[in-house]
Structure 1
Amino acid sequence: MQSKDLTCTEEVRVRFNETDPLGIVWHGHYIVYFEDGREAFGRQHGLTYLDIQKAGFVTPIVKSTCEHFLPLKYGETFKIVTTFVNSNSAKLIYRYELFNEENKASLFGRNHSGFLDADNNLCLYNPEFFQTWKDKMGL
């Protein structure tokens, strides 16, 4: 059975301090935009960092990838489409699609986070709060 995709779309404006002397976004800031997407996703779908922390866990990123297509420019408003990628493993996987003002693909990316408990032990199975959230979301 195929599960539904959970997505969230957030609009962000490129700030001056995120650009290089050519007025385009410095590549390291795209990872920050992923964070913007995850934060918006969490607020929309009830899985914020505070929710995770309240349950006694943290979710450090263990892998990030980016495929760059078109640069974003200073002052431009762009969309971040964040999609939760369902997995049977005890991890959070997000896919990111960034689109410029002309709705052209700027970047596709992905990151993976694991779960650590309060003693910094890696969780090999979904924490109960996370499995409850997945069940509620129909995943």
Structure 2
Amino acid sequence: MSTKKENITETNLKVTHHIRVRFNETDALGIVWHGYYLHYFEDGREAFGRKHGISYLDTKTEGYVSPIVKSSCEHKLPLQYGDIATVETTYINTPAAKIIFRYKILNETGQTVCTGETIQVFVDDNNNLSLTVPPFFEAWKTKNNLL
């Protein structure tokens, strides 16, 4: 049995965003609780959307939402209260009707703390999953030479 491999490519569309670890994000060991790294990914997605004109609000204005259907997170080193980290968010191009982002979180010395990926799909105002790329997203991809 053969499976068809999806044609995805990493793009040069990236955003670098800085976060400061807050006290409430740490656990009893004094390190960032593992679940907060997904929050940092979201901070990166929001920064990406603002910079590249494809924010959650832009998507909602077009009659869609883009829920996450898959996320992964690989922890390498811990962050601690007060650390300033850099979240690098990269758009991964795919012909499918979804949005893929890859993340790398770096500590203040440039070491990789965490890597991950999220996949989002498009759902219209009637809660219907879009099986084709919505027109506004196709226009965004055209504008960014991604087709």
The TM-score, its normalising length taken from structure 1, stands at 0.97
From 74, 77, 83, give the equivalent of 1:67. 74
Structure 1: how far apart are the matches of 2:10 and 2:18? 26
Q: Is the 8 A contact 2:11 2:90 kept in 1?
A: no
From 62, 65, 90, give the equivalent of 1:58. 65
Question: Which AA in structure 2 matches 1:42?
Answer: G
1:3, distance to aligned residue in structure 2 (A):
7.3
When the two structures are aligned, how many residues end up with a matched partner?
Answer: 138
Structure 2 residue runs without a partner (length 5+): 1-8
Question: Which AA in structure 2 matches 1:36?
Answer: D
Q: Is the 8 A contact 1:66 1:108 kept in 2?
A: yes
Question: Which AA in structure 2 matches 1:116?
Answer: V
From 111, 130, 137, give the equivalent of 1:123. 130
1:23 corresponds in structure 2 to 30
Task: Write out the 4+ residue segments of structure 1 that deviate beyond 4 Å after TM superposition.
Answer: none
From 72, 84, 89, give the equivalent of 2:96. 89
2:117 corresponds in structure 1 to 110
Question: Which AA in structure 1 matches 2:105?
Answer: L
From 75, 80, 86, give the equivalent of 1:79. 86
The TM-score, its normalising length taken from structure 2, stands at 0.91
